[in-house]
């Protein structure tokens, strides 16, 4: 039982305020860097959102073995992000260059499921562009001042409003 509880415990991490990144190391010596980058290109018709739109992503030092604690750590970092930035809009695009976009989508869904009960809502949109499907998601807190406007613009996938999706 104790070993199972350790598998669900997030890794310790630290925040680097200068770069805005988070860092943690796994038990398997894999180094992770998590980032939230301001990205106003998502909703150019709504300049009032430009300080609240972030693209979420991470790098790892290598393709380590499956580690459930990584998922819990990333979920905790995302939860902390929304606690500090209630009106934040978090965007995620599953890169399709290496044909692993479905795996990325499943992982992002797993992180989201760990957000239940926090008021964070996830919206998904698949967009076909140049014959390729882009799997995208946005996360917002249900109390976000622009929740309705952003939801409608995102789900309609109007290229003038969500130009980032088609990059």
pLDDT-derived band at 157, boundaries 50, 70, 90: low
Distance CA 32, CA 34 (A): 6
Averaged pLDDT of the chain: 82
pLDDT tens track for 25-39: 999 999 999 999 999
Give the residue, 119 or 128, on which the prediction is more confident: 119
pTM of the model: 0.81
Mean pLDDT value across residues 123-143: 84
Mean pLDDT value across residues 60-74: 84
Report domain extents, the chain.
2-166
Q: Is the predicted pLDDT of residue 1 greater than 50, yes or no?
A: no
pLDDT tens track for 139-152: 999 999 999 999 99
Give the residue, 131 or 21, on which the prediction is more confident: 21
Residue 24 in tokens: 């943690």
Q: Is the predicted pLDDT of residue 14 greater than 90, yes or no?
A: yes
Give the residue, 138 or 167, on which the prediction is more confident: 138
Mean pLDDT value across residues 129-143: 84
Right CATH for 2-166 from 1.20.120, 3.40.50, 3.40.630, 2.60.120 = 3.40.630
Give the residue, 103 or 94, on which the prediction is more confident: 94
Q: Is the predicted pLDDT of residue 160 greater than 60, yes or no?
A: no
pLDDT-derived band at 65, boundaries 50, 70, 90: confident
* Helical residues (DSSP H) of the chain, grouped into ranges: 2-8, 68-84, 101-113, 147-156
Residue 47 burial (CB count, 10 A): 9
Q: Is the predicted pLDDT of residue 41 greater than 80, yes or no?
A: yes
β strands within 9-165, DSSP E: 14-16, 21-25, 31-38, 53-60, 89-94, 120-129, 132-141
* pLDDT at residue 163 in the model: 53
Residue 149 in tokens: 């406007």
């Amino acid at each position: 039982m104790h070993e199972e509880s350790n598998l669900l415990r997030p890794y310790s991490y630290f925040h680097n305020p200068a770069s805005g990144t988070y860092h943690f190391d796994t038990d398997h010596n894999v180094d992770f860097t998590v980032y939230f980058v301001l990205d106003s290109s998502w909703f150019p018709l709504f300049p009032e959102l430009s300080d609240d739109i972030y693209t979420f992503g991470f790098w790892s030092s290598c393709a380590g073995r499956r580690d459930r604690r990584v998922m819990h750590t990333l979920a905790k970092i995302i939860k902390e992000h929304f606690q500090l930035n209630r009106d934040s809009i978090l965007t995620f695009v599953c890169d399709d260059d290496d044909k692993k976009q479905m795996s990325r989508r499943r992982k992002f869904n797993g992180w989201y499921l760990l957000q239940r009960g926090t008021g964070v809502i996830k919206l998904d949109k698949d967009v076909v562009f140049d014959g390729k499907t882009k799997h995208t998601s946005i996360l917002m807190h249900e109390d976000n001042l622009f929740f309705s406007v952003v939801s409608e613009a995102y789900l309609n996938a109007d290229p003038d409003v969500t130009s980032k999706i088609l990059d």
